Amino acid sequence: MSTIVRLGYVAMSVHLENSSPSQTMTFAQFQRVKDHEAAIRKLERIAISNLENCLRLLKHNAWSEIEFFRFSSKLIPLANHEALKEWNYIAPLKDALQRISVFLKEHPMRVDFHPDHFVVLNSTDKEVFKHSIQTLRMHQKLLKGMDIPLQNRCVLHVGGAYNDKEKALEQFIHNWGLVPQSLQQMIMLENDDTTFHIKDVLYLCEKLNVPIIFDLHHHQANNDETPWQEHWDRITRTWEQETLPLKMHISSPKSDKEFRAHADYIDVHGFYSFLKEVNGTIPQIDCMIEAKKKDEALFQLVRDLKSYEDVEFINSSTFYIKS
């Protein structure tokens, strides 16, 4: 059995002009609009424009036979700002969200989010934790508005070490009990490039029954000196009860000096070598490309992979290596 590999990319396209789903408005700009209601309407217009661009990106994906995509987490500017607690930001977006829902029903693809770094579930600061929950609820509302099942839709890092990594891991477990189950089901945890390596994150995932997102580049930058191969069986087992295929992140170092930074494109040789090792161990891997050139990095990786005789493409972004 060969493992099917599906490629995806992050949030925006370098091929579509004027298609940013992350247009924003700062609070300072908001305050400069003297009429409060007019300022709110402007925020709503920006959010609707972001969602319309999101739909354009999904159409671009369908045309390009790309079936895996990460939404921007900046679709709604100032959604959880303390000064705008009364703003029902989802209500004016219902029609735009439903248009995305209709399109995804006609053109199924895996879509998810990677909430920003300020979503920290292991924080001891009650306000930080409260804001993290609010941000996850925003993602939940967007998913519901698009009629997307909530299971496995938000990738998070563990958070901060706070000078005691073991204590920080236990704090995550404690705080997890305070996270509503409806939000828990959305979450996947990723190993990071500076603090919590794959072994740390596996400890949490196995204890809390959460799937792990394996980031190969992060592992190369931050590990406990054990090769990823020693953890692969444990990684795959965290996905055994899930309805979606195992998901991982792929990127390449920008340079030896800036090893943690993402390159424009993916190093095909390193990716192919990884795939050869895991081929046949699981039915499918969905690989999210985190590269500066976004969809062009995906297209270039496809072109590079076609130079390997044992790589067989199913469609423009999905393939397997003949065993």
Given this model, what pLDDT does residue 258 score?
Answer: 97
Beta-carbon contacts of 96 under 8 Å, excluding residues fewer than 6 positions away, are 47, 48, 51, 52, 55
Given this model, what pLDDT does residue 266 score?
Answer: 98
CATH of the domain at 17: 3.20.20.150
Token pair for residue 280? 């046949």
Indicate the residue type of 188. M
Token pair for residue 6? 């599906």
Q: What domain count does the chain have?
A: 1
How far apart, in Å, are the Cα atoms of 206 and each of 62, 201, 202, 213, 242? 35, 9, 6, 13, 13
Only one residue has tokens 């190093």, namely 267
Indicate the residue type of 40. I
The predicted-structure confidence for 35-77, as pLDDT tens digits, reads as follows 999 999 999 999 999 999 999 999 999 999 999 999 999 999 9
The predicted-structure confidence for 276-287, as pLDDT tens digits, reads as follows 999 999 999 999
Task: Give the pLDDT band of residue 96 (cuts 50, 70, 90).
Answer: very high
**Mean pLDDT for the stretch of residues 18-25:** 96
Contact 169, 203 (CB under 8 A): yes
**Buried-exposed string 52-85: b where 16+ CB fall within 10 A, e elsewhere:** ebbbebbebbbebebbbbbbbbbbbbbbbeeebe
HSE-CB for 205 with a 13 A CA cutoff:
32
Range of the domain at 180: 4-321
Given this model, what pLDDT does residue 264 score?
Answer: 98
Which pTM value belongs to this model? Answer: 0.97
**Mean pLDDT for the stretch of residues 69-88:** 95
- CA dist 51 and 146 (Å) reads 11
Given this model, what pLDDT does residue 290 score?
Answer: 98
Task: Give the pLDDT band of residue 128 (cuts 50, 70, 90).
Answer: very high
Only one residue has tokens 């671009």, namely 60
Contact 137, 76 (CB under 8 A): no
Q: 101, exposed or middle or buried, with CB in 10 Å at 0-12, 13-18, 19+? A: middle
Give the end-to-end CA distance of the chain in Å, rounded to a whole number.
7
